[in-house]
């Protein structure tokens, strides 16, 4: 590494230096004046060249550059983290005639990568901290091409990208096309996906046809960007930061004032093909070349540690981003006693008490007590001869909802939540070869854990431990931790004998957005038909408890109090229109700032119920000057989560009149909104950069379910008349999925393989076979490594018509192999856009089974229906793939499951009569046992349970406060509180095949008639419940239903159901 720090001038102010200069002149005379060197170096002497590559040779200088190869998987970045389509190889970078040329070619040297290019870096050859970088370059011309010169830290002291920072000196995408963009950017903040960036698009004349000089000047407090000598952007240390995990004892913390840009970085030059930023590749534009004339690096000659002072080219009047810092919150769980969680909701306190418990003492092996310790007060003392655990949970026993901590199944999305506590390990009473498990659970066995080796811990002294919640999510139990449904916030579980003390337990988090993480207060449920935001009576609805708020660049933060000194002010007044009622008048002042007005909630509001047919609606009246400037709206889910800025279409709007604007909630999801966690119900502002003196009125802001299909400005409620959209049918992949069948395989770095897998995919192969029942079907075979199958399309497909429908497929498992947890599925919308992994569970054992997954649930997981590029992705649960063989048939998207018109739709219960419930060797046979007259009374808590086959395709088990329990559930036989997952809390669906006479309920724990009965057996434990169950259904002339299910060979359960 070259050190550009130089010498330091310490302890001197400018005044003292000037005084020294004057004092040194005392020995001269009038005849021989003293000649003094200027304090500031001349402009052309500010920067001293310390490293360069002029590319004057015939080959790339290997002492300066390393060629990075492949798809990024060797570096921990599948497709370089951006969904790129090229395979990097050294030969695509050539040097001749004083130029470096990187050529993108259309050639497939590795399956799944139709292009080649090159990527170079100077890491560990030339690394530097502070200075000036200057690059003269010409971008590659063409659609889908991404030319870049940039910098990354050589080490990552602040975590993975972008916690440790990134400079983008030059980024040009789609040069020479209508989609051309040029970026200058600094990335910082948190690890992905909470990473932050400061940057801008700039206009550059013909960046793909002409050489331009791109440069950056970097010191410890300022970063300046220049193009062709013009200063375009400055970002200061007051704006960037790094919030990172500093280790087991320190936990999460904010970095130094200059972090993350206070460590050595290195240079990168690359030309990417495709990916998230440039989008679709135009093959007609390839081959194409990125050309670099030179790369030069300078040091500032002021010789100070921070590289400051060389700023003669800087435009000091250039506006730069305001100061910011991460949001941090802490929630004490135990101090001198169990703490309480408290919130202030609409000015009223809300409190939930916490308690310390031991739900598992391992038959008396573990005991705990609260002990007084000098200097600490009360602590939790735990003694065990063999395991057991102690936990902290809500005294009311109900779930606790965390937000902004990350959640399953996306364990790879790191968030900055942690459990912190002080720990004392008594070496004499603790097995030194054991582990201490730190857990959080959402109802056993749904949990996450992290093991602390006692041998690696300090002994006989107090020390602090920090356990990242992301690690708990990653290390799941037999069921994954759900951070939105936490039962035990903290579980401490020795694996052997132990004597320990615990104190100062807290849950803490950091987030880029104000109030972006925390613990959601109980309640706050919203109506599924109407959620008002701002009412006709002039009130902000209580769920938006922060009320009307604003943000502007002068204040640099939110404010919810109306202050006339701020840029934005507001008041409520009568609109003068009886159809509108009261209106909110919003005024933007003339102080030169920009800002936004919004209605806000402290904790996110769950608007998931509005996805199918809901709309955001509001009335707005604009004066002529505001209408001419233009208006923008957005909806946020804790910044940076949100729709992004969306210009409002004012075509045909008549200034001075009221007009209603509507946006389908489903379309907001496509813009990036997480509808389950909305904290700004509506954000409005005149076009950014042109706001001075403008005003507007807004009224009747609400989220409203609409009975009509479609409409609005987005995808609407789908189209129930749309025909099925096939993926795989009759032994062939549908034409819409022109890329056909592909696989991903960890054995080749998660690269794609096509054809039939086999040699290309070491852990996956597929072929079409003849099935005795179905004819030609797809058969898939798995090896030991993690792999999966998908049906893809280069062009995206708009499947908005299927919003209220299902993605369905038939599956039959030929060989379970080592698999006990079943399958996972998802759909993608061009990486990283995806539905997220969706558990299918154990299905299709030895016989064909139909799986139907509600498309709405895919959308809620993040799928943008307007740009779907995989019709189905399916794979066995990771770690349980070896030996799995299964078949697929009839994969398609359906606009409706026919629920509304189904003859079985409605609510049902078991008939209160003898024989309504029975089991025997044959169908309809009660030879082994049947419900007797006395049982009708004894089991009334079962007979009043309701099975709701709702018209929207959802299914509910409604049990009230009790149902019939049995020994397999770990309970005494008799009436009692329902036990998970058969307690009615499962989000489930149903479908009915009238021709086959089959009813399928999907959702772990959903059932008809009897919880333990499933296809082919009876449950031995609650969490063995399958993901779906299919019943035979026989409608009777008297309106009742006979429902049967085979549980053995022989062995059938039969239920008689009557309508509620």
Write the class of the CATH domain 328-520.
mainly beta
Give me the count of residues in the chain: 1060
**Mean pLDDT to the nearest integer, 958-983:** 92
Neighbours of 937 (CB within 10 A): 10
The CATH number fitting domain 49-300, selected from 3.30.70.3000, 3.90.650.10, 2.60.120.10, 2.60.120.200: 2.60.120.200
Q: Check pLDDT > 50 for residue 333.
A: yes
Over range 579-593, report the average pLDDT.
93
Q: Which residue has the higher pLDDT, 665 or 420?
A: 420
Spatial CA neighbour of 346 closest among 540, 525, 517, 513: 540
Which phi and psi (to 5°) does residue 693 adopt? 80, 5
Q: If you average pLDDT over residues 657-673, what whole number do you get? A: 89
> Taking 80 as the threshold, does the pLDDT of residue 1 lie above it?
no
By the 10 Å C-beta count (0-12 exposed, 13-18 middle, 19+ buried), 493 is classed as: buried
Strand partners, 765: 757, 781
* Mean pLDDT calculated for residue range 317-339: 92
Domain 725-894 indexed as CATH 2.60.120.430: yes
For the CA atoms of 268, 273, 276, 279, what is the dihedral angle to 10 degrees? Answer: 140
Exposure string for 272-305, b = 16+ CB within 10 A, e = fewer: bbbbbbbbebeeebbebbbbbebbbbbbbebebe
Give the Å distances, CA to CA, from 711 to 607, 629, 723, 823, 937: 19, 27, 19, 37, 52
Q: Is the pLDDT confidence value at 225 over 80?
A: yes
Query: 456: part of which helix (H) or strand (E)?
Result: none
Predicted local confidence at residue 712, as pLDDT: 36
Q: Where are the beta strands (DSSP E) in 202-318?
A: 212-218, 222-227, 230-236, 243-245, 252-254, 265-273, 288-300
What does the block give as tokens for 17? 């230096």
Share of the chain above pLDDT 90, in %: 65
Q: What is the pLDDT of residues 96-133, one digit of tens each?
A: 999 999 999 999 998 878 999 999 999 999 999 999 99
797-826 average pLDDT score: 91
Active-site amino acid positions:
166, 171
Whether the per-residue pLDDT at 992 is higher than 90: the answer is: no
In the β-sheet with 119-121, what is the strand arrangement from edge to edge?
Answer: 66-68, 119-121, 265-273, 145-153, 166-173, 181-188, 196-201
Residue 653 CB neighbours (<10 A):
16
Q: Which residue has the higher pLDDT, 252 or 858?
A: 252
Residue 486: band (very low, low, confident or very high) from pLDDT cuts 50, 70, 90: very high
What integer pLDDT is reported at residue 744 of this predicted model?
A: 86
Give the pLDDT confidence score for residue 28 in this predicted structure. Answer: 33
Residues 6+ away with beta carbon under 8 Å from 63: 125
Q: Is the pLDDT of residue 9 over 70?
A: no
**In the structure, what pLDDT confidence band is assigned to residue 41 with cuts at 50, 70 and 90?**
low
Domain boundaries, the chain: 49-300, 328-520, 530-705, 725-894, 906-1059
DSSP string, 739-799: TEEEEEEGGGTTEEE-TTBTTSSTTEEEEEEEETTTEEEEEEEE-SS-EEEEEEEEEEE--
Can you read off the two tokens belonging to residue 885? 């063989």
What would the pLDDT profile of 837-883 be if each residue is shown by its tens digit? 888 888 888 789 999 888 988 888 888 888 899 999 999 998 899 99
- In CATH, which of 2.60.120.430, 3.40.50.800, 3.40.50.300, 3.40.50.150 is domain 530-705? 2.60.120.430
Cα 733-735-737 angle, rounded to 5 deg: 70
In this prediction, residue 5 carries a pLDDT of 28
Question: Is pLDDT of 30 > 50?
Answer: no
Residue range 362-375: average pLDDT? 96
876: tokens are 């066995």
pLDDT per position as a tens digit, 508-546: 999 998 788 999 887 666 777 899 999 999 999 988 988
CA 910, distance to chain mean position in Å, is 42
- Asked if 943 contacts 912 with a C-beta cutoff of 8 angstroms, the reply is yes
Q: Is the dihedral of CA 533, 538, 542, 545 positive or negative?
A: positive
pLDDT at 829: 86
* Burial tier of 961 (Cβ tally within 10 Å: 0-12, 13-18, 19+): exposed
Strand partners, 1028: 1002
What DSSP character marks residue 429?
A: G
Averaged confidence pLDDT in the chain? 89
Among 34-48, 633-647, 662-676, 1027-1041, the range scoring the smallest mean pLDDT is 34-48
The mean per-residue pLDDT over the stretch 62-82 comes to 91
Decide if pLDDT at 331 tops 60: yes
Side-chain half-sphere CA neighbours of 729 within 13 A: 13
In tens, the pLDDT along 449-464 reads 999 999 999 999 999 9
Greater pLDDT, 118 or 602: 118
In DSSP notation, 874-900 reads: EEEPTT--TT-EEEEEEEEEES--STT
Task: Report the share of the chain in percent with pLDDT over 70.
Answer: 93
Q: How far is CA 904 from CA 693, 710, 852, 918, 1039, in A?
A: 61, 27, 17, 21, 10
37, pLDDT greater than 60: no
Average pLDDT over residues 822-826: 93
Assess contact for 896 and 856: CB atoms under 8 A: no
Whole-number Å distance between alpha carbons of 489 and 36: 69
Please give the structure tokens belonging to residue 681.
């119900």
**Residue 254's pLDDT band (boundaries 50, 70, 90)?**
very high
Average pLDDT of the residues in 821-827? 92
Three-state DSSP class for residue 288: strand
pLDDT of 566 higher than 60 = yes
Mean pLDDT of 966-973: 91
**Residues sharing a CB contact under 8 Å with residue 5, sequence separation 6 or more, in sequence order:** 129, 130, 304, 305, 307
Q: Peptide bond preceding 1050: is omega within 30 degrees of 0, i.e. cis? A: yes
Q: Which two tokens stand for residue 250?
A: 């320190």
Q: How many CA atoms lie within 13 A of 198 on its CB side?
A: 25
User: pLDDT at position 12, please?
Assistant: 27
Amino acid 707: pLDDT: 53
More confident residue, 160 or 557: 160
Answer whether 49-300 and 725-894 agree in fold.
yes
Look at phi and psi of residue 6 and say left if phi exceeds 0, alpha if psi is from -120 to 50, else beta. Answer: left
What's residue 900's pLDDT?
Answer: 54
Which of the listed CATH numbers 2.40.50, 2.40.128, 3.30.160, 2.60.40 matches domain 906-1059? Answer: 2.40.128
């Amino acid at each position: 590494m070259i050190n550009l720090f130089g010498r330091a001038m310490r302890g001197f102010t400018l005044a003292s230096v000037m005084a020294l200069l004057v004092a040194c002149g005392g020995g001269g005379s009038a005849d021989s004046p003293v000649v003094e060197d200027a304090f500031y170096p001349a402009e052309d002497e500010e920067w001293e060249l310390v490293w360069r590559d002029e590319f004057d040779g015939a080959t790339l200088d290997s002492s300066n550059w390393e060629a990075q190869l492949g798809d990024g998987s060797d570096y921990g970045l599948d497709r370089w983290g951006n969904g790129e389509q090229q395979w990097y190889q050294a030969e695509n970078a050539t040097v001749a005639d004083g130029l470096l040329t990187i050529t993108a070619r259309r050639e497939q040297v590795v399956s799944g990568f139709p292009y080649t290019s090159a990527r170079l870096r100077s890491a560990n050859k030339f690394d530097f901290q502070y200075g000036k970088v200057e690059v003269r370059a010409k971008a590659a011309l063409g659609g889908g091409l991404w030319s870049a010169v940039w910098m990354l830290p050589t080490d990552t002291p602040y975590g993975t990208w972008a916690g440790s920072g990134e400079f983008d000196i030059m980024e040009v995408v789609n040069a020479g096309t209508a989609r051309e963009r040029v970026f200058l950017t600094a990335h910082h903040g948190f690890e992905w996906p909470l990473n932050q960036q400061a940057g801008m698009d700039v206009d550059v004349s013909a960046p793909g046809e002409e050489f331009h000089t791109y440069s950056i000047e970097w010191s410890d407090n300022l970063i300046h960007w220049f193009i062709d000598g013009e200063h375009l952007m400055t970002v200061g240390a007051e704006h960037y930061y790094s919030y990172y995990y500093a280790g087991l004892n320190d936990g999460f913390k904010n970095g130094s004032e200059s972090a993350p840009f206070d460590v050595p970085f290195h240079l990168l030059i690359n030309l990417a093909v495709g990916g998230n930023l440039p989008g679709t590749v135009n093959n007609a534009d390839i081959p194409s070349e990125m050309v670099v004339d030179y790369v030069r690096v300078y040091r500032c000659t002021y010789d100070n540690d921070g590289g400051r002072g060389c700023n003669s080219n800087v435009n000091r009047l250039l506006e730069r981003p305001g100061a910011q810092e991460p949001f941090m919150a802490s929630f004490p769980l135990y101090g001198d006693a169990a703490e309480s969680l408290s919130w202030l909701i609409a000015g009223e306190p809300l409190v939930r008490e916490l308690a310390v418990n031991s739900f598992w003492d391992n038959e008396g092996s573990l005991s705990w007590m609260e002990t007084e310790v000098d200097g600490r007060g009360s602590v939790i003392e735990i003694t065990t001869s063999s395991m057991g655990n102690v936990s902290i949970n809500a005294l009311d026993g109900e779930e606790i909802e965390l937000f902004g901590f990350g959640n399953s199944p996306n364990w790879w999305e790191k968030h900055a939540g942690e459990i912190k506590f002080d720990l004392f390990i008594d070496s004499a009473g603790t097995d030194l070869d054991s582990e201490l498990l730190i857990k959080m659970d959402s109802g056993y066995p749904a949990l996450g854990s992290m093991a602390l080796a006692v041998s690696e811990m300090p002994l006989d002294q107090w020390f602090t431990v920090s356990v990242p919640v992301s690690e708990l999510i990653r290390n799941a139990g037999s069921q994954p931790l759900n951070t939105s449904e936490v039962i035990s916030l903290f579980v401490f579980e020795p694996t052997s004998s132990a004597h320990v003390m615990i104190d100062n337990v807290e849950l803490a988090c950091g987030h880029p957005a104000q109030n972006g993480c925390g613990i959601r207060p109980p309640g706050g449920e919203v109506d599924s038909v109407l959620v008002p935001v701002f009412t006709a009576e002039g009130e902000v609805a209580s769920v938006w408890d922060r009320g009307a708020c604003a943000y502007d660049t002068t204040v640099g933060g939110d404010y919810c109090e109306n202050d006339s000194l701020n840029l934005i002010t507001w008041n409520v007044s009568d609109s003068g229109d009886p159809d509108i009622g009261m209106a909110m008048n919003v005024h933007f002042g003339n102080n030169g700032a920009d800002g936004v007005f919004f209605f806000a909630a402290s904790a996110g509001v769950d608007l998931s119920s509005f996805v199918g047919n809901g709309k955001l609606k509001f009335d707005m009246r604009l004066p002529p000057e505001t209408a001419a400037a233009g208006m923008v709206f957005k909806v946020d889910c804790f910044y940076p989560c949100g729709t992004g800025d969306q210009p409002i279409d004012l075509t045909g709007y008549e200034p001075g009149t009221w007009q209603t604007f509507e946006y389908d909630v489903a379309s907001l999801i496509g813009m990036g909104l997480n509808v389950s966690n909305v904290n700004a119900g509506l954000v409005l502002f005149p076009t950014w950069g042109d706001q001075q003196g403008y005003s507007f009125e807004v009224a009747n802001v609400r989220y409203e379910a609409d009975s009509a299909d479609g409409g609005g400005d987005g995808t609407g409620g789908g189209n129930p008349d749309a025909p099925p959209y096939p993926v795989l049918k009759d032994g062939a992949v549908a034409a819409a999925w022109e890329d056909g069948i592909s696989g991903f395989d960890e054995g080749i770095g998660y690269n794609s393989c096509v054809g039939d897998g086999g040699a290309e995919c070491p852990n996956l192969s597929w072929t079409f076979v003849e099935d005795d029942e179905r004819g030609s079907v797809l058969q898939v075979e798995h090896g030991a490594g993690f792999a999966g199958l998908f049906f893809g399309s280069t062009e995206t497909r708009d499947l908005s018509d299927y919003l209220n429908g299902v993605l369905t497929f038939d599956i039959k498992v030929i060989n379970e192999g080592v698999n006990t947890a079943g399958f996972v599925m998802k759909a993608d919308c061009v990486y990283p856009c995806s539905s997220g992994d969706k558990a299918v569970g154990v299905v299709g054992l030895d016989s064909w089974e139909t799986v139907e997954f509600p498309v709405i649930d895919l959308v809620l997981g993040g799928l943008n229906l307007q740009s779907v590029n995989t019709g189905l992705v399916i794979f066995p649960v990771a770690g349980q793939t070896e030996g799995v063989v299964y078949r697929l048939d009839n994969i398609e998207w359906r606009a409706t499951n026919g629920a509304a018109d189904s003859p079985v739709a409605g609510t049902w219960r078991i008939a209160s009569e003898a024989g309504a419930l029975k089991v025997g060797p044959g169908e309809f046979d009660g030879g082994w046992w049947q419900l007797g007259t006395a049982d009708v009374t004894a089991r009334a808590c079962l007979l009043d349970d309701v099975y709701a086959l709702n018209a929207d395709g959802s299914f509910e088990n409604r049990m009230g406060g009790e149902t019939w329990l049995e020994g397999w559930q770990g309970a005494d036989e008799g009436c009692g509180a329902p036990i998970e997952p058969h307690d009615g809390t499962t989000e489930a669906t149903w479908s009915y095949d009238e021709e086959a006479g089959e009813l399928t309920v999907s959702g772990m724990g959903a059932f008809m008639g009897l919880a333990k009965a499933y296809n082919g057996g009876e449950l031995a434990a609650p969490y063995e419940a399958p993901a779906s169950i299919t019943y035979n259904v026989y409608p009777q002339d008297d309106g009742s239903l006979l429902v049967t299910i085979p549980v053995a060979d022989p062995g059938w359960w039969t239920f008689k159901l009557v309508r509620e």
